[in-house]
Amino acid sequence: MELKDGMIYYINFKGNLGREINKIHLGIIYTLPGIDDVVFCVPLTSPKLKHFKSQTDFENRNYTRVKHFSWQYLKQTDSIALLDQIRIISINRLLNSYENQDKKPILLDEATQKLLKEKIIKYINLILYKK
């Protein structure tokens, strides 16, 4: 299985507890240097009104108007990235890649990856340094 940074997979999150994402969801994966059996994962979920500051923001999918800093709307997949659920997972949880109509795996575009990476770094800094 060839894994690429920014690739989207169906992932089996079964077995998680409490508010942790569970069952099968999409997730964005990033490989870890020198480690082949686990990947860094950003779980995705469908956008819901609760993710946005207003009904209008939800309907227009205004990515700048999410309710909580730990959520990020991704236009390319019409998904919400759950930064509060980022984790390292076994590659055995990866079911299959998310594909377009031409049966080609979907890789997040550069602009979306840049936005997501910047927000992940800010979120981790917020957690670690309580800024």
pLDDT digits 0-9 by tens, 34-93: 999 999 999 999 898 889 998 998 988 888 888 888 888 888 888 999 999 999 999 999
Type of residue numbered 63: Y
Q: Which domain holds residue 85?
A: 7-129
- The pair of structure tokens assigned to 118 is 């910047």
Within a domain: 34: yes
pTM over 0.75: yes
- Residue labelled with tokens 């979920």: 45
* pLDDT for res 16: 78
* pLDDT for res 87: 94
CA atoms of 41 and 30, how far apart (whole Å): 6
Q: Count how many domains the chain has.
A: 1
- E strand or H helix at 94, and its extent? strand 94-97
* pLDDT for res 91: 96
* pLDDT for res 62: 83
* pLDDT for res 131: 65
Within a domain: 28: yes
Within a domain: 57: yes
Within a domain: 2: no
Contact of 7 with 106, CB cutoff 8 Å: yes
The predicted-structure confidence for 4-21, as pLDDT tens digits, reads as follows 999 999 999 998 778 888
**What is the Cα 27 distance to its own chain's centre?**
5
- The pair of structure tokens assigned to 54 is 């207003």
Contact of 64 with 43, CB cutoff 8 Å: no
- Residue labelled with tokens 């994962």: 41
> Residue 66 maps to which CATH number?
3.10.129.130
Residue 1 has pLDDT above 70, yes or no: no
Within a domain: 58: yes
Within a domain: 1: no
